[in-house]
Structure 1
Amino acid sequence: MRKGSYNRLWRWHFYAALCITPLLITLTLSGIGYLFYTNIENKAYSDLFFGQSSQIERLTIDEGIGKARELNPDYTVSKVIVLDDPYNTRLTMTNGEGDQKYVFLDDNYQVVGSQRAEFTFSNVMRQIHSSLFVGGTVVNYLVELAACWAVFLLLTGIYMTFRGKVLKNRQNPTKPQKNKKWHAIIGTIVAVPMLVIIFTGLPWSAVMGDIIYNASQKYPVIGTPLLKQQPPASDRSEIPWATRKEEPPASSEHGGHHGSMPGMSTTPEDDSYRIGVQQLLGRIEESSIAKPYAIIYPAGEDGVFTVSKSSNTGITGLDVSPYDEVTAYFDQYSGAFISKVGYDDYGILAKWFTWGIPLHEGHLFGWPNQLINLIVCLAFLFVIFWGFKTWLSRKKAGGFSAPPAASSGLSIGFIVFMALLGIIMPLFGLSLLAVVLIEGIRYLMIRKA
C-alpha cells in the first residue's frame, strides 16, 4: 500500500479505537468474568449445588419434581438437568411471564432451594458479554460491530507495525516513540490468539452467527445433519450449538392421549399422558447416554423429550468433551428412543465450532485454557491502555492530534483489504458504508471551504 493508504489506515485505526474502546473493555472484562464462572458458582452456590435438604425421606425424581411444582405453583418445569456426583439435580422452571428459576433436588430428590435464573453469576456475565445486559436487536448488533472493528484494529495494527518500522531500534527514542513501540509489540503478540477468540465467539452473534448457522444447515456435508420435523418452541439453551435449531422428530400417537397407560404420569403442564422422568432415565441409560445431560420437556402433544450433552452449555457441571456431544430424542408417551445426532455426524463446520466455542469460553482443556485466555485478555487490555497512552503522549495541548488525513486517492490494496473484511464480516461491511459517507461529506466540505 502507498503512504496515503498507510495514513488512511492509521486515521481509521485511531477513530475506530476511540469509538469502540468502551465496548471492547466491557466485553473483555465480562469475558474474563465468564472464564471463571464455574469456579465462582461452585463456591457461591455450594449450598444449592451440593447441599442436602433437612428432609431425609427418599423420593423418586418424579415425586421431587412434583414437590418443586407445589412450592412454585406459578411455574412449570421445562428442563431437568442431571449431573454427575456430587452435583444436585437442577430443574429449570418458567412462569407465564417468561421468568425462570432454578430449583435444586438433592440425592434423595428433596427440594434444597432455588435461585432466580437471570441473577446467577454465569447468566449476568453472559448477558453483559453478549448484549450489555440490555438486550435487543440494536444492542446485539452493536456488540457484534465492536468485535468486527476489533478485528480491523488488530490487522491494521500488525500492518502499521511492520510498514512503519515501529519495532526498529532507535537511538534516544522520544517518549511517544517508546509508547508506540510497546503498543505495537504487545499488539502484535496478542493479535493471533485474540483473533481466534473473536472468531470462535462470532457463532453466537446476530448477523454473522445466523449466516454461519444457516450455511451449516443448508450444506449438511460441512454442517449439521438435518432432521425433518418442526423444532419445539421451548427454550433449549443447553442443547449444543451444532443442533440447537435442528428439527426434532415428533412423538408417535398413542392411546395414552386419551387414557392412562402403565408408567405414565400426568403433569400440570400438559393434560396428556406422558412417561415419567424416572422411567425416562432408564431409557436414557439403555441408550448408553451417561451423565451429565439435560432433559428438555416436549413442547406440545407431538413433541419429544430431547436429551442433550453439550460442550458449550453455560451450565456449571454440564459441559462435556466435544467428542461426547449428543442430542437424542425420546417419544414422550412410550419413552421409546427415536433418533440421535452425535459429534461424528457433524460436518467440518459444525465440528470446528463445537471445539471453538468451549475454547472461546475457556473450558476446552481445563485450567490451562482459562489461564491462556486470561493472559490474552489482560494483554489486550494492556494494548488498549498503551494505545491511549501513545496518543496522549503526542497530543498537543488544546488539540485533538488525530493522524494526518490521506493526501492521495484510494489504492487498489486498500480497497481489496476493506472489501475482503466487509465480505467476511457483513455487519462490518455495512458500517463501512457509513464511514465512506462521512468521509465523503468531510471531503466535500473541505473542498468547498
Structure 2
Amino acid sequence: MTSTDTRPTAGPDPSPSRASAWTALKPLILRLHFYAGILIAPFLLVAASTGLLYAASFQIEQVAHRHELTVPVGEQRLPLTQQVAAAQAARPDGKVTAVRTPEAADASTRVLMDVPGLPESTQLAVFVDPYTGQVRGTLDSYGGSGALPVRAWISHLHRHLHLGEPGRLYSELAASWLWVVALGGLTLWVTRRRGARRLRGLLAPDRSLPGARRRLSWHGSVGLWAVLGLLFLSATGLTWSTYAGENVGEVRTALGWTTPAVTTSSGDHAAHAGEGVHRHGGPAVSVDQVARAGAGEGLSGPLEIVWPAEPGAPYVIKEIDKTVPQRLDQVAVDAGSGQVTAVLRFSDYNLAAKLTQWGIDGHMGLLFGLANQIVLMLLAAGAITLIVLGYRMWWQRRPTRGFGEPYPRGGWHRLGWAVLVPLILLVVAVGWFLPLMGLSLLAFLAVDVLLGLRARATQQEGA
C-alpha cells in the first residue's frame, strides 16, 4: 500500500482542460474502491455471511420448532377465547398482550404474553392447538416478526454480533460503505469494458484470459449482476442503523413520509382494559367478538389481535401477511362495545410509507417468500465472492511483490476547481448524513497521507 509517487503536492489545476473529468476522477474512484475494499471488506464479509444465514433462517426455524408450529389438522377450530384460556392456564404468570391466528390449516395459534425476566422486545409465545386446545409448548418470540429462538439468535448475530448496541456499529459501517463500493466498482468495470463494445464482455467473465485478468473479469461480471441488489441492501440496511438511521427518520418525519398508524385514542365508549366489564356496566367484548368485528371490515388471516395497552384503549387487529399480495390492513375495536372505531387500509399509505414497508420486508426475505430468501442468499454469496476475489487480486499484485503502487495517490491534483469544490461539498454532506462513513473516510485520508509521507522520506533517504 506504499507509494513511490513523489510529485509535488500542488493545488488543483485551475482549468480542467488538461484532462477530461473522467480521466481526472478515475484515479480517485479507483483508490477509494481499493481502500474500501481492503479496510471495509472484512465488515462486509461478516455482514454478507451472517445475512446469508439469516435468509435461510426461516426454513431453519420451521424445522427446529416444527412441534410448536404445526398441529394435526382437525375438523373444527375452538373459539379464540378458549384457546387463550388454555394458554393462560399453562402460564398463569403471564399477561396476554396479543394472539396470532393460524396462517394455515396445520398451524398452531400463538398467544403472546409479557412475562417477567424476558429481554427487551421479547415476549413469551404459547403455542396452542386450535382444534383441541392442547398447549404444544412455549418459546421466546422476538420483535414484530415474531422470530423464535433460532431465527432470533441468527438475527442478533447479523445485526450486532451478540454484542448489543456497540456491535451495531459494524453493520452500520458495512451498510454505509456498501453502496460506495458497489457504485465505484460498477463505474470502473463499465468504463473499462467500454472499448470492447460487447455486452457479453460486461455480463459474463472471460475464461480465456490469464490469471489476474481472469479473476478481474469474474470480479467485474459478478459485481455487475449483483449491483442493484447490493444497493437495495445498503439503503434498507441503513434504516435500521443507529446514527444514519436516526438521520433517515428525521428526513422522513420532515417530509411527512412516516408510516401511519390506526387511531387508538380513547373514546366515550371505550372500556377499561382488563376490568372485564363495559364502562356502562355491560360485559366486555370477547376476543372472538373482536375477531368478528375485524372480519366485518374485510380483514382476513393471518391476524394479530393486540390487547388494549391501557384502560380505555381499544383492541387493534392487524393483518400480518407480508407476502405479495400483502394484507396489512388494521382496525381498532372498542373494548367495551365491540364496535369498530378506526380503520387503516394499506392502500391508503402514502408512496414513501409503502416503499419503506416493501424495502424492510424485502430486506428481511418476507416480501416474496421463499423466492425472496433465495435471492438474498444469492446476493450474499455474490458479495462473498467479490470480496474473496478482490483480496486475491490485491494479494497477488501487492507492492511488496515488486508490482509498484497499482492505485496511485494524488489524483485530486488533476481536478479543476469546478469539479473539486462540488465533490468536496458532496463528500461533506454524505459524511454528515452517514457519520460512520464520514469518520472512516477521514481515517482513510489520514492513513493515505502518512503512507505518502513515509514513502517520500524513504525515497529521499535513498537518493
**Which residue is equivalent to 1:357?**
360
**Which residue is equivalent to 2:10?**
none
Higher Cα Rg: structure 1 or 2?
2
Kindly indicate whether residue 313 of structure 2 is the aligned counterpart of residue 303 of structure 1: yes
CA distance in 1, matches of 2:93, 2:264: 30
Change (3 A) 1:401 1:291: farther
Identity of counterpart residues, as a percentage?
24
**Which residue is equivalent to 1:42?**
62
Q: 1:330 deviation in Å? A: 1.9
Kindly provide the amino acid, as one letter, of the partner of residue 155 in structure 2: R
The aligned runs of 1:306-385 (5 Å cut-off) are 306-310=316-320, 318-321=321-324, 323-385=326-388
The aligned runs of 1:63-82 (5 Å cut-off) are 63-82=82-101
* Equivalent residue in structure 1 for 2:174, among 113, 122, 146: 146
**Which residue is equivalent to 1:204?**
240
Kindly provide the amino acid, as one letter, of the partner of residue 69 in structure 1: Q
Q: Which moved more, 1:289-298 or 1:206-215?
A: 206-215
**Which residue is equivalent to 2:32?**
12
**Which residue is equivalent to 2:441?**
432
| 8 A Cα contact 1:4 1:408, kept in partner | yes
The aligned runs of 1:211-250 (5 Å cut-off) are 211-220=247-256, 223-224=257-258, 242-243=259-260, 246=261, 248-250=263-265
Q: 1:4 deviation in Å? A: 6.2
Q: How many matched pairs?
A: 412
CA distance in 2, matches of 1:45, 1:130: 22
Kindly provide the amino acid, as one letter, of the partner of residue 110 in structure 2: R
* Equivalent residue in structure 1 for 2:298, among 288, 291, 298: 288
Change (3 A) 1:296 1:424: same
Kindly provide the amino acid, as one letter, of the partner of residue 161 in structure 1: W
* Equivalent residue in structure 1 for 2:217, among 177, 181, 190: 181
Kindly indicate whether residue 160 of structure 2 is the aligned counterpart of residue 131 of structure 1: yes
Kindly provide the amino acid, as one letter, of the partner of residue 145 in structure 1: L
Q: 1:403 deviation in Å? A: 4.4
Gaps of 5+ in 2: 1-20, 143-147, 459-463
Q: Which moved more, 1:326-335 or 1:422-431?
A: 422-431
**Which residue is equivalent to 1:230?**
none
| 8 A Cα contact 2:271 2:278, kept in partner | no
CA distance in 1, matches of 2:404, 2:39: 16
Q: Which moved more, 1:415-424 or 1:341-350?
A: 415-424
Between 1 and 2, higher relative CO (CA 8 Å, sep ≥ 6) is seen in: 2
Kindly indicate whether residue 135 of structure 2 is the aligned counterpart of residue 111 of structure 1: yes
Report SS of the residue matched to 1:409: helix
Kindly provide the amino acid, as one letter, of the partner of residue 138 in structure 2: S
**Which residue is equivalent to 1:94?**
114
CA distance in 2, matches of 1:140, 1:183: 28
Change (3 A) 1:125 1:94: same
Output the TM-score relative to the length of structure 1: 0.77
Output the TM-score relative to the length of structure 2: 0.75
**Which residue is equivalent to 2:277?**
261
CA distance in 2, matches of 1:426, 1:352: 24
CA distance in 2, matches of 1:9, 1:178: 22
Change (3 A) 1:251 1:67: same
Q: Which moved more, 1:80-89 or 1:111-120?
A: 111-120
CA distance in 2, matches of 1:402, 1:263: 79
| 8 A Cα contact 1:34 1:126, kept in partner | yes
